[in-house]
């Protein structure tokens, strides 16, 4: 019996290590080759030959000071888009989830909830071209610039990220006793007061979860910004700006990989710090 358990443990450990190597290998390649010259990368991308700290510092300087890659500008743009989108998703998503969970027996609330769930199944590639056309038409009729603007892409992220946010928050709110709201209502608290003074503070763990998950997606996203902001537009995010080093005939792999490393490091750090909250919030939101 013990021998069988030992064999299973060894097999599962080996499988886990293989999966970890498979998942982490691309990141390892980015880190390794950001420490090398372009010629060394082309000659041996998985070799340590040519990798040095001084070369990494040189590559870093070339990236940050490159005129085609305004690092500080695109960094600020990415931060603004991500932070504003996350605040709006957390605020309006929690409001919607609260209303749906407290009216879950009513047909209209159930229908709205099913619409949110259904929207999670539809691939973005199906709606990306109609989305651009819709944004262009909205801009014509309202005079509001929806394409190649920060408000436009923030609006799009709120729309695409709202489904998962509402799904997770709704499951969590169902586990909050309704008696708390009844007691506050008897004491004369308004619906707005009940939400912001009682419900919203209790949502802190799961809001951290959805914020980190949505934040990693928004920060690392390339397709939506490339469509709405354009590859050569004035407003760029970090993932879009990285392609500035990809020429028609020559690709500056040393600068591409160094810029990519700069773009993904913030989210890696945030994920490592908040991974316990992510798992705890996912379990609470889905199981409850």
Mean pLDDT, contiguous 10-residue spans, the chain (288 residues): 75 91 89 88 83 88 83 90 94 92 86 88 83 82 78 90 90 85 85 87 86 88 87 84 72 85 85 70 52
Residues paired with residue 68 on neighbouring β-strands, in sequence order: none
Q: What is the pLDDT of residues 177-203, one digit of tens each?
A: 888 888 888 888 888 888 888 888 888
pTM for the model stands at: 0.84
Q: What is the pLDDT of residue 86?
A: 94
Is CATH 3.40.50.300 what the domain over 71-287 is classified as, yes or no? no
Identify which of 248, 245, 267 has the alpha carbon closest to the alpha carbon of residue 258: 245
- Give the SS3 label for residue 251: strand
Which pLDDT score, from 0 to 100, does residue 281 have?
56
Interhelix angle 150-173/71-102, nearest 10 degrees? 40
């Amino acid at each position: 019996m013990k021998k069988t358990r030992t064999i299973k443990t060894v097999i599962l450990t080996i499988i886990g290590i293989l999966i970890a190597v498979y998942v982490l290998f691309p990141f390892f390649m980015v880190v390794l080759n950001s420490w090398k010259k372009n010629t060394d990368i082309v000659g041996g991308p998985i070799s340590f030959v040519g990798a040095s700290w001084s070369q990494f510092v040189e590559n870093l300087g070339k990236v940050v000071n490159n005129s085609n890659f305004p690092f500080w500008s695109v960094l600020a743009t990415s931060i603004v888009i991500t932070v504003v989108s996350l605040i709006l998703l957390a605020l309006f998503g929690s409001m919607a989830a609260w209303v749906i969970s407290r009216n879950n027996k009513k047909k209209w609330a159930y229908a709205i909830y099913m619409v949110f769930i259904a929207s999670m199944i539809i691939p973005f590639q199906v709606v990306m071209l109609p989305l651009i056309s819709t944004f262009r038409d909205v801009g014509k009729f309202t005079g509001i610039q929806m394409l190649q603007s920060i408000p436009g892409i923030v609006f799009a992220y709120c729309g695409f990220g709202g489904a998962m946010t509402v799904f997770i928050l709704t499951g969590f709110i169902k586990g909050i006793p309704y008696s708390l709201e009844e007691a506050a209502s008897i004491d004369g608290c308004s619906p707005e007061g009940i939400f912001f003074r009682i419900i919203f503070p209790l949502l802190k763990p799961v809001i951290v979860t959805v914020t980190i998950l949505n934040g990693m997606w928004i920060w690392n996203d390339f397709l939506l910004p490339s469509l709405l902001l354009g590859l050569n537009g004035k407003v760029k995010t970090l993932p879009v700006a990285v392609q500035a080093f990809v020429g028609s005939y020559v690709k500056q792999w040393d600068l591409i990989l160094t810029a990519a490393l700069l773009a993904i490091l913030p989210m890696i750090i945030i994920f490592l710090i908040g991974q316990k909250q992510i798992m705890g919030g996912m379990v609470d939101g889905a199981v409850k």
